[in-house]
Amino acid sequence: MGRKSLKEPRQKEIIKAFYKIVKKEGLENASIQKIAESIQINPSLIMHYFRSREHLVYGLVEFILDRWLHIFDVKDAEDPMDELRAVLDNVFSKKWNSLFDDGTSYSLYSLAFRNKTIRQRYKHLLDTLRQRLAEMIAACNKTKQLTVKDPAAAADIIFVLVDGAYYYLSLVDDKAEYDLRLAVYKQHALKVLN
Amino acid sequence: MGRKSLKEPRQKEIIKAFYKIVKKEGLENASIQKIAESIQINPSLIMHYFRSREHLVYGLVEFILDRWLHIFDVKDAEDPMDELRAVLDNVFSKKWNSLFDDGTSYSLYSLAFRNKTIRQRYKHLLDTLRQRLAEMIAACNKTKQLTVKDPAAAADIIFVLVDGAYYYLSLVDDKAEYDLRLAVYKQHALKVLN
DNA sequence: AAATATATTGAATGAACGTTCAATATATTT
DNA sequence: AAATATATTGAACGTTCATTCAATATATTT
């Protein structure tokens, strides 16, 4: 009995508004009041759906971490090598920048060092990413299209390259230089597979 | 005439206190008042030496960025190869963790995406690091101890590996696993030089 | 229509924030 | 000792913050 719960859609709406403000003004300047104002609701409503600002941040972390998994969103192909190539294309491409705001990413990541919950979430995600890539490499081994001795180690190095690549690239303004470097880093990642 | 300026030592003292609080409580929770309290001075004194909190943050950025250059602090050797090895030892070693607090590093880095001054400082530093490493590699080429075709590209990749390595490693709690992975990443960096 | 669970508002709280300004203290020079 | 530049304090400012609580509104069920 009683009114239907709007919890899920409202929470998502609030988190998206939160994210928008974090992108523009930074995590430390994204206040409950600003979020409420931006979607024209009462600040108390945010406290109603998230118990505290801390939990709101948890929501944003979940929202961002879920996006990482989108790099595995590729067409199902019969050839596992095609799928692997598509994933690497996703990782070393502009899709990245459309998925992630760099400032937000590093802000949230920095929280992992003072907050156990966030730390565990991040660790789990990074491990999941590596594991899924390793499985794809192993699948290519099975079809003899690749002969990678240690798929897990290879996947690990590739993600190290990815993380390191974007750390520097996020400061590169020149588009041509950006593309060139990204291509070089991708080449290096591919070399790991041979 | 008049009293001698204490500007430099006082500023450094304040920045160090700032850093200490940032490490423990996070950049967003490190307030002027807390800093002042921790070294038992008046908050106004901090405003006297830094015009605003913004400038205080700039000071911390400089402080942290300067530390990076310490990875090149190695014994002068006649053999350039020895020096290069020593630098790589520094980069892939525990020295890293004594120099940098990960949470602070990523917090400050995230500011680069909303603040042009900080962005330029970071870009300049990362380029300087790469350039200096490239010079060391070139020196080894000259003595025929190395035959790296493109020292700049090699230095770039090595730092990509470093940045990416610590991104993941900073979440690894198990000491043995940490050491093992670090060794693997170092091996990969060395491979770039052959 | 009465009951009820959830949605939403609005006012109020106290705490903490960065910043200001004038006043005082302390060195150093003339 | 007078002059002066810098160091340091202390009080006060208005603003913004997260959070609380009670009150009201709106669906949905019985």
Q: pLDDT tens, B21-70?
A: 999 999 999 999 999 999 999 999 999 999 999 999 999 999 999 999 99
In a domain, A59, yes or no: no
In a domain, A2, yes or no: no
Range(s) of the domain holding residue A178: 68-192
**How high is the pLDDT of residue A175?**
94
Q: Give Rg (Cα) of chain A.
A: 20
Q: Are residues A171 and A95 in the same domain?
A: yes
Q: Are residues A76 and A103 in the same domain?
A: yes
Q: Are residues B118 and B151 in the same domain?
A: yes
In a mutagenesis test of the B interface, which of A24, A64, A109 is the best target, namely the one with the most B β-carbons within 10 Å? A109
Q: Are residues B145 and B186 in the same domain?
A: yes
Chain A residues close to B28, C-beta within 8 Å = 27-28
Across the interface, of A106, A162, A181, the residue whose CB is closest to B106 is: A106
Give B 42-81 residues with CB within 8 A of chain A: none
What's the domain count of chain B? 2
Residue of chain A with shortest Cα separation from B30:
A28
pLDDT surpassing 80 at residue B94: no
Q: Are residues B46 and B79 in the same domain?
A: no
Chain D bases near protein CB atoms (7 A cut-off): 3-12, 16-22, 25-30
Q: Are residues A106 and A35 in the same domain?
A: no
In this complex, do B27 and A28 lie within 8 Å of one another by their Cβ atoms?
A: yes
In this complex, do B164 and A168 lie within 8 Å of one another by their Cβ atoms?
A: no
What is the average pLDDT across A139-143? 98
Three-state DSSP at A144 gives: coil
pLDDT surpassing 80 at residue A95: no
Strands (E), chain B: none
Sequence-ordered alpha helix ranges (H) in chain A: 7-25, 32-38, 43-49, 53-68, 80-91, 95-99, 102-111, 116-142, 151-169, 175-192
In a domain, B1, yes or no: no
In a domain, B2, yes or no: no
Say how far apart CA A168 and CA B163 lie, in whole Å.
Answer: 8
Q: For B42 and D10, how far is CA from C1' in angstroms?
A: 9
- Answer whether A8 touches B (CB < 8 Å): no
B95 vs A48, higher pLDDT: A48
**How high is the pLDDT of residue A96?**
79
Q: Say how far residue A164 (Cα) sits from the centre of its chain.
A: 14
Q: Are residues B119 and B149 in the same domain?
A: yes
Please answer whether residues B186 and B89 qualify as being in contact, where contact means their C-beta atoms are separated by less than 8 angstroms. no
Chain C bases near protein CB atoms (7 A cut-off): 3-12, 16-22, 25-30
In a domain, A163, yes or no: yes
**How high is the pLDDT of residue A46?**
98
Say how far apart CA B193 and CA B106 lie, in whole Å.
Answer: 29
What is the average pLDDT across A65-69? 96
Q: Are residues A104 and A157 in the same domain?
A: yes
In a domain, B42, yes or no: yes
Give me the CATH number covering residue B24.
Answer: 1.10.10
**How high is the pLDDT of residue A194?**
87
In a domain, A33, yes or no: yes
pLDDT surpassing 90 at residue A94: no
- Nearest nucleotide (C1') to alpha carbon of A42: C9
In a domain, B61, yes or no: no
Q: Are residues A89 and A44 in the same domain?
A: no
The pLDDT mean for chain B works out to: 96
Residue with tokens 């491979």: B191
What is the average pLDDT across B147-175? 97
Q: Nearest-CA neighbor of A11 among A30, A29, A35?
A: A35
pLDDT surpassing 90 at residue A179: yes
Q: Are residues B34 and B78 in the same domain?
A: no
Q: Are residues B92 and B17 in the same domain?
A: no
Q: Are residues A136 and A40 in the same domain?
A: no
